[in-house]
Amino acid sequence: MLVTPKERTPPSILVTVVDNDAETLMERTLYMVVEHFKNKDAIAVYRRFRDKGRMAPEGLRYICSWIDDRLERCYQLMETHDRRLLDEWMANWKDLVDFEVHVVVTSKEAADKIAPLL
């Protein structure tokens, strides 16, 4: 499956998905996922990641992440056209992680959106 950016419209990204010669236009939304490691246990989370990988379903794209300096919380930027894929991924980790999910846009998208109001 080939995914190419077409046009950005806050808070989603329009992409063309090419699969078996069929082209469809789908919106992709950015999510900032804040993971709170249960019992502040980063070891269990990293052990599972080492053993099983991210366990993300196809269609959910990991972009990047940051961990706080106490190794208690992860801030992860994810992208998908279907929020249910994010829920499916979180279900794989719910025994080790509590989640907060926020729809986000890039700084440029926010500036473009607010510019007419200035």
Whole-prediction pTM: 0.76
> Is 15 within the bounds of a domain?
no
Q: Are 17 and 2 in contact (CB under 8 A)?
A: yes
Range(s) of the domain holding residue 49: 29-117
* pLDDT in the model for residue 25: 52
> Is 34 within the bounds of a domain?
yes
Q: How many separate domains does the chain show?
A: 1
**Cα–Cα distance for residue pair 41/25, rounded to 1 Å:** 41
Q: CA dist 92 to 33, 88, 99, Å?
A: 14, 7, 12
Average pLDDT, the chain: 85
* pLDDT in the model for residue 19: 45
**What are the phi and psi torsion angles at 117 (to 5°)?**
-90, -10
> Is 69 within the bounds of a domain?
yes
> Is 75 within the bounds of a domain?
yes
- Please tell me whether residue 87 adopts helix, strand or coil conformation: helix
Q: Is the pLDDT of residue 1 over 60?
A: no
Host H or E run for residue 47: helix 42-52
* pLDDT in the model for residue 9: 39
* pLDDT in the model for residue 95: 98
Q: What region does 2 belong to: left with phi over 0, alpha with psi -120 to 50, or beta? A: beta
> Is 9 within the bounds of a domain?
no
Burial of 86 per CB tally in 10 Å (0-12, 13-18, 19+): buried
pLDDT tens column, 32-86:
999 999 999 999 999 999 999 999 999 999 999 999 999 999 999 999 999 999 9
Q: Residues 91-108: what's their mean pLDDT?
A: 97
Percent of the chain with pLDDT over 70: 78
